[in-house]
Amino acid sequence: MAKESSQAADVVGVHRVVVIVDENSNPFELGCATEVFGLRRPELGRDLYEFQLCSPEPRTLMRDGFFTLTGVAGLEAADAADTLIVPNRPDTEVPRRPAVLDAIRRAHSRGARLVGFCSGAFTLAEAGVLDGRRATAHWQWADSFRVRFPSVQLETDVLFVDDGDILTAAGSAAALDLGLYVVRRDHGAEVANSVSRRLVFAAHRDGGQRQFVERPMPNLPDESLAPVLAWAQERLGSPLTVPGLAARAAVSPATLHRRFQKQLGTTPLAWLTGQRFALACRLIERGESRFEVVARHSGLGTAANLRALMRRETGITPSEYQRRFGSSAT
């Protein structure tokens, strides 16, 4: 399961997301933040966030001098952020600007949510807000991070970590995983699915999945999990089992387990539970108020199972989830 906190965010009104862009910042993660939080959503009939870029300098040279960013707000914009995304840059040994670190500390002290993509964990740790907290960063910097910041509980074999008011993502692509996770936490699974469809990106990969595949995946048709995954997703309300999935894939349960670990970084049972939970969330959001029906149609079995899983994954009850994200909540 995902390594994430049970704390759920309350988004009242329009939530303001501010990204600090500093010298040598990575353009990719900046683009991920803009795509997820900054674009207008006419297909939803409303904007999900207010979005703003800010920088400590009028002209900011991006990574390796690719381009110069101008025309964004000053660093004072960070003081109005509900969610503050901190700079991420490949020169992890270079100290961050004191003004940037001070802005992060101020945001943290007033209760803003902090997000670090990839090497952004170094920025958060240098600001001192990660002491005693869980975080992740790109695997190639794990050793140097632990040496510099031994008081941080670094988790390297995950895509992202949700530690409540501080969230961190591993490599560059994991920025999209974490961004969509934040949207799902703020606005529910249905909205997150809509955003992911626009991005043509997987709607939900658990944070606990691996950062990278240690060996290249074989390019053989009979090794692909896609057919059995698609088959199972159409039958989530049916009594699916790991042996049944293995039989459908024409392999042994042990072989299926190895392929799931190798290709998805998770187990068949964890994947199946995650898919069923996502379906349960969508059913609630679409207006189904009978939780025993939700549990049955999503394959979770009983309302008690649904309540336990909802509490574990979101920190709230199905009733509270319905109040926040049900069809009558918007």
Average pLDDT value for residue range 120-141? 94
Spatial distance between the Cα atoms of 129 and 88, rounded to a whole number of angstroms? 16
- Give me 48's structure tokens: 């999900």
Give me the pLDDT at residue 199, please: 75
Predicted confidence (pLDDT) per residue in 275-296, tens digit: 999 999 999 988 899 999 999 9
Identity at 269, one-letter amino acid code:
L
Give me the pLDDT at residue 99, please: 96
Q: For residue 170, how many C-alpha atoms fall within 13 Å in the half-sphere facing its CB?
A: 22
Average pLDDT value for residue range 170-174? 79
Q: With cut-offs at 50, 70 and 90, classify the pLDDT of residue 174.
A: confident
Residue 145 has pLDDT above 90, yes or no: yes
Name the strand (E) or helix (H) holding 196.
Answer: helix 189-199
Average pLDDT value for residue range 165-179? 88
Q: With cut-offs at 50, 70 and 90, classify the pLDDT of residue 144.
A: very high
Average pLDDT value for residue range 14-38? 92
- The C-alpha angle 108, 113, 114, rounded to 5 degrees, equals 75
Give me the pLDDT at residue 8, please: 39
Give me the pLDDT at residue 223, please: 63
* Most confident by average pLDDT, 50-59, 228-237, 314-323: 50-59
Give me the pLDDT at residue 86, please: 95
Residue 114 has pLDDT above 80, yes or no: yes
Average pLDDT value for residue range 116-130? 95
Residue spans of the domains in the chain: they are 15-199, 219-330
Give me the pLDDT at residue 329, please: 57
Distances (CA, A) of 89 to 29, 100, 102, 145, 224: 10, 13, 18, 14, 35
Query: Which of residues 142 and 265 earns the better pLDDT score?
Result: 142
CATH superfamily of 219-330: Homeodomain-like (1.10.10.60)
Q: With cut-offs at 50, 70 and 90, classify the pLDDT of residue 156.
A: confident
Residue 6 has pLDDT above 90, yes or no: no
Q: Name the nearest CA neighbour of 232 among 197, 200, 264.
A: 264
pTM of the model: 0.68
Spatial distance between the Cα atoms of 19 and 17, rounded to a whole number of angstroms? 7
Query: Which of residues 224 and 215 earns the better pLDDT score?
Result: 224
Q: With cut-offs at 50, 70 and 90, classify the pLDDT of residue 46.
A: confident
Spatial distance between the Cα atoms of 40 and 42, rounded to a whole number of angstroms? 6
Give me the pLDDT at residue 202, please: 52
In the CATH scheme, what architecture does the domain 15-199 have?
3-Layer(aba) Sandwich (3.40)
Cβ atoms of 146 and 154 within 8 Å: the answer is yes
- Give me 159's structure tokens: 């895509």
The number of beta carbons lying within 10 Å of the beta carbon of residue 111 is: 8
Task: State how far Cα 293 lies from the chain centre.
Answer: 28
Residue tagged 């998805």 (tokens): 264
CA dihedral 268, 274, 276, 280 (to 10 degrees): 180
